[in-house]
């Protein structure tokens, strides 16, 4: 079959507008929906595989809140709890922190790369990262990957002063920052040794840069690694203990540590006692559910589309058995008949896919107006079109091949 026959196929389609219209609508709806579902699924999978920067294996988390007498002096309670946890079998190291990545307790503050002098803002870069406060040795226990500099020095740690509106922020002398924050404040590079300024006034020297350190609550504006650790020892009534356990012993360490803390102070509340991997799973549970829904919906839609194309193609082909038989009698080969119907189906599915792509963009824009959804990207439009085209051709191949073989026999039997 030559290109010159394509106009003939198109004219034949116009004489069967009803069936062609049904197939077109089915294909364009499938393209629009599958494209958006694939895009949403990709976003969810990207979230589920998000790197926090922590060495999550063998890391346990216990979150507690002091009540009664222990709450009157939280700093002392935290010190004794840290010592009690260190004594548990299998504990390699433990720190106290006010929050951790994915823990959903966020404290952010404003920092600049230069001090603000009067109203002169020339050359000033501003950022509002998450501030993590922790006891020593924070980066080591969390398993952060240093790409430059060093961990916070033991002598730099000072109280957080939670009761005084976190006044310890202005007494911190060192900071370990994420690579994203270093790139933001010091785009020229070489962040180690430079100073960042809390509230554009109080200097804090950058002593280390870690590859990744995500926020406690992830956002959709792509600055989720904008974080830093300050040597501020938590001293508020609520604290999280990050416990680095020996290999394979994290569950035992968590259980024994929780029991010990409960025995020491029965009035306390333990809000969370889990491995970090379980904490991560809880945080992303909704995203996991949505990913399964998007995947299931996309597969179901593809199955329905393939079934519909197959049914319509079978009906359409069977109506033209006599025409096929005559063409075969005049010398047409089986491959000619098969190619004719595949080209016919390709014209319809290609047209429906193009229109469906426009509909997919419109649907994405409509959803983005009411929900935090990014604009759909070109590769997903191409994937949607290609998937529907291949599926349509595969669904039409079976009835077309059967017709090429059976039509002459069916005509002879009916003669």
pLDDT at 148: 94
pLDDT at 282: 92
pTM of the model: 0.74
- State the Cα–Cα distance between residues 333 and 408, nearest whole angstrom: 12
- State the Cα–Cα distance between residues 368 and 372, nearest whole angstrom: 6
pLDDT at 192: 95
pLDDT at 401: 79
- State the Cα–Cα distance between residues 182 and 171, nearest whole angstrom: 21
Which tokens go with 204?
């804090």
CB 192 within 8 A of CB 209: yes
Token pair 């963009």 is found at 361
The alpha-helical segments, DSSP class H, found in 74-146 are 74-86, 138-142
* b/e 289-325 (16+ beta carbons within 10 angstroms → b): ebbeebbeebeebbeebbebbbebbbebbeebbeebb
The neighbouring-strand residues paired with 25 are none
pLDDT at 238: 94
Can you point out the beta strands (E) in 81-182? 91-97, 111-112, 126-127, 130-133, 146-149, 158-159, 174-178
**pLDDT beneath 50: ranges in the chain:** 414-415
pLDDT at 9: 60
Q: Is 406 exposed, middle or buried (0-12, 13-18, 19+ CB in 10 A)?
A: middle
Number of neighbouring beta carbons within 10 Å of residue 138: 23
């Amino acid at each position: 079959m030559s290109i010159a026959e394509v106009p003939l196929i198109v004219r034949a389609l116009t004489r069967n507008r009803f069936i062609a219209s049904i197939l077109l609508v089915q294909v364009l709806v499938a393209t629009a929906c599958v494209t958006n579902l694939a895009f949403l699924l990709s976003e969810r999978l990207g979230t589920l595989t998000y790197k926090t920067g922590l060495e999550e294996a063998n890391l346990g988390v216990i979150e507690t809140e002091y009540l009664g007498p222990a709450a009157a002096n939280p700093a002392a309670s935290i010190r004794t709890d840290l010592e009690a946890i260190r004594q548990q079998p299998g504990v390699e190291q433990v720190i106290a922190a006010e929050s951790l990545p994915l823990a959903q307790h966020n404290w952010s503050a404003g920092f600049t790369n230069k001090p603000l002098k009067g109203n002169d803002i020339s050359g000033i870069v501003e950022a509002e990262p998450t501030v993590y406060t922790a006891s020593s040795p924070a980066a080591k226990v969390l398993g952060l990957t240093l790409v430059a500099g060093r961990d916070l020095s033991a002598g730099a740690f000072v109280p957080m002063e939670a009761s005084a509106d976190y006044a310890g922020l202005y007494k911190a002398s060192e900071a370990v920052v994420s690579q994203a924050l270093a790139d933001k404040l010091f785009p020229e590079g070489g962040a180690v040794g430079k100073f960042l300024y809390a509230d554009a006034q109080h200097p804090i020297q950058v002593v280390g840069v870690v590859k990744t350190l995500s926020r406690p609550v992830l956002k959709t504006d792509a600055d989720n690694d904008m974080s830093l650790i300050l040597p501020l020892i938590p001293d508020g009534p609520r604290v999280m203990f990050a416990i680095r356990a020996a290999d394979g012993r994290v569950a035992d360490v968590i259980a024994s540590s929780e029991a010990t803390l409960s025995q020491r102070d029965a009035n306390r509340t333990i809000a969370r006692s889990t491995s970090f991997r379980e904490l991560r799973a809880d945080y992303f549970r909704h995203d996991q559910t949505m990913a399964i829904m998007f995947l299931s919906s996309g597969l179901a839609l593809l199955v329905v589309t393939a079934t519909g194309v197959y049914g319509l193609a079978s009906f359409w082909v069977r109506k033209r058995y006599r025409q096929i038989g005559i063409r075969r009698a005049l010398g047409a080969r089986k491959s000619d008949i098969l190619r004719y119907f595949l080209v016919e189906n390709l014209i319809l599915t290609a047209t429906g896919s193009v229109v469906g792509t426009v509909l997919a963009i419109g649907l994405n824009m409509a959803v983005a107006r009411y929900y935090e959804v990014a604009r759909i990207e070109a590769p997903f439009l191409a994937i949607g079109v290609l998937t529907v085209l291949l599926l349509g051709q595969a669904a039409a191949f079976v009835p077309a091949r059967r017709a090429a073989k059976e039509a002459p026999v069916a005509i002879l039997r009916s003669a």
